Amino acid sequence: MEFVLVKFAGRRRVLVDDEGMGYNRDESGQEQVLEIPGGVHSVRLGGLHDYLPLAHDVDINQTTRDNPLVLEFSSTSCSSQPAEEI
């Protein structure tokens, strides 16, 4: 298994090859590392498509819980408030 940290201002479901793998943040709002199978994957967020890039196509390998692959998504929303969980 490999490890990914998905950064986004709000709490969103993380989809790997269109399958839910958990959320980028826990219920208290803290970022959390997700455990996923190694290999080539398309990673995106669930909910509204109000972020860029729409997906990260990545080859995930040689990660650890302490050194995960970090993927960042930026909000395209005009609001300065983080989006609610979707």
8-21 confidence digits (pLDDT tens)? 999 999 999 999 99
Q: Under a CB-based contact definition with an 8 Å cutoff, are residues 60 and 41 in contact?
A: yes
Please, what is the average pLDDT of the chain?
A: 92
Residue 86 has a pLDDT of 47
Residue 14 has a pLDDT of 98
Tell me the C-alpha distance between 46 and 68, whole Å.
Answer: 21
What's the mean pLDDT in 30-40? 97
Has residue 69 got a pLDDT over 50?
yes
Tell me the C-alpha distance between 19 and 69, whole Å.
Answer: 18
Residue 24 CA neighbour count, 13 Å, CB half: 26
pLDDT band at residue 80, thresholds of 50, 70 and 90?
A: very low
